[in-house]
Chain A
Amino acid sequence: MTVSKHVVSAIAQPAATTLAVAGGSVALDVTGAPFVQGTLRVKNKPGLFDALDPRAHAGTVSLVCGDEIAGTTREFSLNIRSVRGGDDNTLEIALASDEALLEDYSPAADTDLLLELNYDETVGTGYGNITASELTGWVLDQIGGTLVAPPSPDPQLEPYWEVKNLAVNPVFYSTIEGAAAGAGATSFAPGVSYLDKPKSMRWVAAAGGARAYVAGWDMEAGSMTALPISAERPVGEGLPLNSDKWLWISTNAAVAAGARSRRLRVEFRRKTTGETVASMSSDLIYGTGWGTVGRMVNVPSGDWYMTVSVEIGATSETTLNAWATDVMIAEVRYPVRALNGSTFYDSAYEFAWDDTSNDSPSTRYPYTVERRPEAFTWPAGQGGLSFLAPLLQTVGLRLVHNGLNEWTLRHSTHVEPGTTAITYGDNMIGYDLASDLETFYDAAAVAYKWTTARGERTRTDYYEATPNPRRVRYLELAMAYPGPGRAENIVRRAQTGGRVATATTVTQWDTTPEQALTIETSIDGHLAIVGIENVWVNDPEVILTGTVGAVTFNLDDDTMTVVARRQEDA
């Protein structure tokens, strides 16, 4: 016989109102968001409804629950979601952990998180390096939340998408078509190797500075056409480009000893008069050797032509040697890595010339994972959790607020410390075993549908756990493709459910989801193990383990009901 004495105290904020708890429940569930939800019935008193009214103020209820004999306590601080009361002199309060607050929040205008996180492929070694914890951290910051720690591992969540380099001769492989000598530049030459760059163009200048045009561009009748700056005539196909768009323009430039600085300069000139409409420069880079100079350019409207040049500045040496290659002009909103059709494929992309090598635009194509950059735009009006969850699900992560003060990102293999055992003949009050095909899937298809400037797009993420799946779950989402992974995670989660064991015992306040669990029961003298391994055996020594999928603490009768899940293999 186990004797327990359960006590519950509750204080509502912001007015520090002590609540007289008459009953209710607190439930924690790995399949749900908010992770912690509760219902409290409290005795009404004058002014209490106003003190709890969630529309009037963001209120919370601090619950301290415990077993005085076992010496265990469990605390929750939950947000008041609703309050209702009638003629029975009690109020019923619905409570939820902070996921509810996150879902309440949405930006007032569409917010591109790649911009907010300064997504830049030109720095570092990867493609931008945005981790799941960075992305989540930025979103949580909007409601004043922080992750207690990044998940381990902390997966990358950067975008992978098609990018076209509009520069038709980016590396000056055999000619310098599209390039021209600028002020101060002499000895202009193509195809020159310097350090480890096999191809580049080179110019020489006297001390003081020099400029070389690495690309020219002409816009006419709503299309852009590459052309040599020296002669304003089109070569190659025109490319559609709307005005009021963004371009990323960069080149890789090198200077030999003696030169002090270099930068990229972009000028827009009126086509009819040659007058400069807009000009802008990158930051200066000092020192010798290669370095990327580039900047985002907001394209002005009207008829203009564009010149892109590299400027170098010198100290006192009489002669300067400068090189430039890897010209990148792309219709994107973020700095992207330079590419051309001859770039070797890497783990993320394949590269191809659109037409003739070194005389046409080139494109990178996602090689293993496509994750659209549009998926990182948080639409105005969308709740924070709704925005974040699809991105996190592609890498198998779940955002959890523990109902007290901790935000965590959890993998499906996450394990909480501690063990719960509910055993026939020892502490089991009741149990239930159910198997439902409605919640069973061994395959899933998730269709993403979204609209871009180039029309409607659809991508489907499919995963099957077995070659001939019995039940396929179909899910259609109106959002840009965030990459594969969600279908697999749906199936993996479904595989841990399907056959559900539920057991009831006297409340143990340290029971929590994702903790090890054994449920052992008996029918007609036969011992049956109802972990979720779905095995009935006669061997009394066998105990199978799963994890706690959900636990409901019932304050009315001091019992808890635990739902088992199979522990997913790490």
Chain B
Amino acid sequence: MTTITHSAGTIIPEVVHGFTATRAPGTLVHTILGSPNPDVSLRPAAPRAGTLELVFATATDAVAAESVIVVPQVLTITDPDVSQIGMDFVVTGGAIELELDPATVKVWLLRVPFLEVDA
């Protein structure tokens, strides 16, 4: 069971339908004139970023979750089954999307763009 903890409680979606995290590498490559071998300047990669797709059974739950998500704060996601996705994150980049699932026309989807932070 995935739990998102916020300053005033928790959000527990029915299921996290998707989790994709990307990290932009920071290392710089400098092309050297007249040489096939570039010089490399090592830099740390950016933290994990992506979009969480949360599924809620009712519009009420989905809207309640959205009203929490839009509050500027550091959130924490945990999942005892997949501990690797646990992180502190902020909501940033892209757009917070609330959608009635077109496939089921029953459940509600809340897409949350995130960036991992070191809280």
Bound complex: CA of A300 vs CA of B37, how far in Å? 84
Q: Which residues of the partner chain B approach A427 to less than 8 Å between Cβ atoms?
A: 32, 39
A425 nearest CB neighbor, chain B only: B34
Bound complex: CA of A430 vs CA of B42, how far in Å? 20
> Is B28 interfacial (CB-CB < 8 Å)?
yes
- The interface stretch among A1-9, A161-169, A406-414 is A1-9
The reply to whether A6 and B41 form a contact with Cβ atoms under 8 Å apart is: yes
Bound complex: CA of A3 vs CA of B68, how far in Å? 45
Q: What number of A-B contacts does a CB cutoff of 8 Å give? A: 55
The residue that B31 contacts in the complex, of A3, A429, A431, with Cβ under 8 A, is A429
The reply to whether A1 and B37 form a contact with Cβ atoms under 8 Å apart is: yes
The reply to whether A4 and B42 form a contact with Cβ atoms under 8 Å apart is: yes
Bound complex: CA of A558 vs CA of B39, how far in Å? 11
The reply to whether B41 and A5 form a contact with Cβ atoms under 8 Å apart is: yes
Q: Which residues of the partner chain A approach B42 to less than 8 Å between Cβ atoms?
A: 3-5, 69
The reply to whether B35 and A426 form a contact with Cβ atoms under 8 Å apart is: yes
Query: When each residue 535-570 of chain A gets 1 if its CB lies under 8 Å from chain B and 0 otherwise, what string results?
Result: 000000000000000000000011100000000000
> Is A402 interfacial (CB-CB < 8 Å)?
no
Q: Which residues of the partner chain A approach B28 to less than 8 Å between Cβ atoms?
A: 557-558
The reply to whether B40 and A4 form a contact with Cβ atoms under 8 Å apart is: yes
- The B1-60 residues at the A interface (CB cut-off 8 A) are 28, 30-35, 37-43
The reply to whether A424 and B39 form a contact with Cβ atoms under 8 Å apart is: no
The reply to whether B34 and A522 form a contact with Cβ atoms under 8 Å apart is: yes
Q: Which residues of the partner chain B approach A506 to less than 8 Å between Cβ atoms?
A: 30, 39, 41
B42 nearest CB neighbor, chain A only: A5
The residue that B33 contacts in the complex, of A1, A69, A430, A557, with Cβ under 8 A, is A430
- Dominant secondary structure at the B interface: loop
The reply to whether A522 and B40 form a contact with Cβ atoms under 8 Å apart is: no
> Contact size class for A?
20 to 34
Bound complex: CA of A6 vs CA of B34, how far in Å? 24
A429-B33 contact in complex given A557-B28, A558-B28, C-beta closer than 8 Å: yes
Bound complex: CA of A3 vs CA of B30, how far in Å? 10
Bound complex: CA of A430 vs CA of B35, how far in Å? 12
Bound complex: CA of A398 vs CA of B73, how far in Å? 54
The reply to whether B34 and A1 form a contact with Cβ atoms under 8 Å apart is: no
A558 nearest CB neighbor, chain B only: B41
A69 nearest CB neighbor, chain B only: B42
Query: When each residue 56-76 of chain B gets 1 if its CB lies under 8 Å from chain A and 0 otherwise, what string results?
Result: 000000000000000000000
* Closest chain B CB from A511 CB (angstroms): 15
> Is A284 interfacial (CB-CB < 8 Å)?
no
The reply to whether A424 and B33 form a contact with Cβ atoms under 8 Å apart is: yes
Q: Which residues of the partner chain B approach A6 to less than 8 Å between Cβ atoms?
A: 41, 43
> Is A332 interfacial (CB-CB < 8 Å)?
no
> Is A521 interfacial (CB-CB < 8 Å)?
yes
> Is A428 interfacial (CB-CB < 8 Å)?
yes
- The A414-433 residues at the B interface (CB cut-off 8 A) are 424-431
Q: Which residues of the partner chain B approach A1 to less than 8 Å between Cβ atoms?
A: 37-40
* Closest chain A CB from B9 CB (angstroms): 26
- The A1-42 residues at the B interface (CB cut-off 8 A) are 1-6
B37 nearest CB neighbor, chain A only: A1
The reply to whether B33 and A428 form a contact with Cβ atoms under 8 Å apart is: yes
The residue that A425 contacts in the complex, of B35, B41, B43, with Cβ under 8 A, is B35
Query: When each residue 419-455 of chain A gets 1 if its CB lies under 8 Å from chain B and 0 otherwise, what string results?
Result: 0000011111111000000000000000000000000
Q: Which residues of the partner chain A approach B38 to less than 8 Å between Cβ atoms?
A: 1
The residue that A559 contacts in the complex, of B30, B33, B35, B40, with Cβ under 8 A, is B30
Bound complex: CA of A2 vs CA of B39, how far in Å? 5
Q: Which residues of the partner chain A approach B32 to less than 8 Å between Cβ atoms?
A: 425-429
* Closest chain A CB from B116 CB (angstroms): 17
A559 nearest CB neighbor, chain B only: B30
Bound complex: CA of A441 vs CA of B28, how far in Å? 41
Bound complex: CA of A390 vs CA of B40, how far in Å? 46
Q: Which residues of the partner chain A approach B40 to less than 8 Å between Cβ atoms?
A: 1-4
Bound complex: CA of A69 vs CA of B33, how far in Å? 23
Q: Which residues of the partner chain A approach B43 to less than 8 Å between Cβ atoms?
A: 5-6, 558
Bound complex: CA of A429 vs CA of B29, how far in Å? 10
* Closest chain B CB from A160 CB (angstroms): 55
Bound complex: CA of A431 vs CA of B32, how far in Å? 11
Q: Which residues of the partner chain B approach A521 to less than 8 Å between Cβ atoms?
A: 33
Q: Which residues of the partner chain B approach A2 to less than 8 Å between Cβ atoms?
A: 39-40
Q: Which residues of the partner chain A approach B34 to less than 8 Å between Cβ atoms?
A: 424-426, 428, 522
Q: Which residues of the partner chain A approach B37 to less than 8 Å between Cβ atoms?
A: 1
Question: A1, A429, A521 — which one has the most chain B CB atoms within 10 A of its CB?
Answer: A1
B residues within 8 Å of A by Cβ? 28, 30-35, 37-43
Given contacts A1-B37, A431-B33, A506-B41, 15 further A-B contacts (CB under 8 A): A3-B41, A3-B42, A4-B41, A5-B41, A5-B43, A69-B42, A427-B32, A427-B39, A428-B32, A429-B30, A429-B39, A505-B39, A506-B30, A522-B33, A557-B28
Rank and list the top 9 A-B pairs by shortest CB-CB distance, nearest first. Answer: A425-B34, A558-B41, A5-B42, A1-B37, A424-B34, A2-B39, A428-B33, A3-B40, A506-B39
For this complex, 13 residue pairs linking A to B, each with C-beta atoms less than 8 Å apart, are A1-B38, A1-B39, A4-B41, A5-B41, A5-B43, A426-B34, A429-B31, A431-B33, A506-B30, A506-B41, A521-B33, A557-B28, A558-B28
